[in-house]
Amino acid sequence: MSRLLRRVVCAAALAVFGCESMPGRPVPSDRPVRPTQITSFDLLWGTHCAGCHGADGSLGAARPMKEPLYLAWVDDGSLRRTIRAGVPGTLMPAFGAAQGGGLTDEQIEILIRSMRSRWGQPGRFAGAALPAYAAPPGDAERGAAVYAEFCAGCHGSDGTGGTVRGSIVDPAYLALVSDQALRTVVVAGRADLGMPDFRMAKPGTPMTDQQIADVVAWLVGHRVEFPGQPFAAKEKTHG
């Protein structure tokens, strides 16, 4: 074998075998992962959900997802629609790729499955009579009586706040939440804020479906067209 041929063979062997062990050579695991290829729940949750719902599903600005009753009550279809399309008129954005968000359908399913497997406790509510997830508001006049029976003890006789809890009729709050969000807080409560669910608002007397719908109507009736307060007019000074 000529010297030139030996050099060519050695160079080829080095390229094929030697470079594999060279320091600093990238390996397949070093390749960047496209956002649409992420399948880790922790990464998906931390990137898209934790900012509002908390790093571990609780103690965030928005409703905690780490609530067994809520997860037993809400169905997959409702979760899927909310994550994919968001909730118009609220701070919940659309995360579905088709709606301009960054999550694929597969990633949305990973979020739903993992929330249920990590934080759900379906056995606690097996056979329990839970209200329907979605229902239109009922009658606001009847809702006033329901509010007085189940809610006024904490939120005050007119909903503007009591000795235990704050206002539930604040215009800014009502402007930021949907009718469904109001129904959700009545049914599932807010354990992180000390608000009981529909079974415990009056211990021993769970709220009926009709009472839930009626008190939601009463809350909706307190919305105002233009929430918030404009800057106070400056007083004119003379002299």
Tokens of 227: 């929430």
Secondary structure (3-state) at 96:
strand
How far is the CA of 152 from the CAs of 148, 183, 198, 219, in angstroms?
5, 17, 14, 13
CA angle 54, 168, 206 (to 5 degrees): 85
The H or E element spanning position 51 is helix 50-53
Q: What is the pLDDT of residue 239?
A: 47
Per-residue pLDDT reduced to its tens digit, 15-65: 655 555 666 677 777 778 899 999 999 999 999 999 999 999 999 999 999
Tokens of 208: 């009926």
Report the C-alpha gap between 7 and 69 in whole angstroms: 72
pTM value is: 0.81
Range of lowest pLDDT (28-32, 36-40, 78-82, 175-179):
28-32
Q: What size, in residues, is the chain?
A: 239
- To the nearest whole number, what is the mean pLDDT of the chain? 89
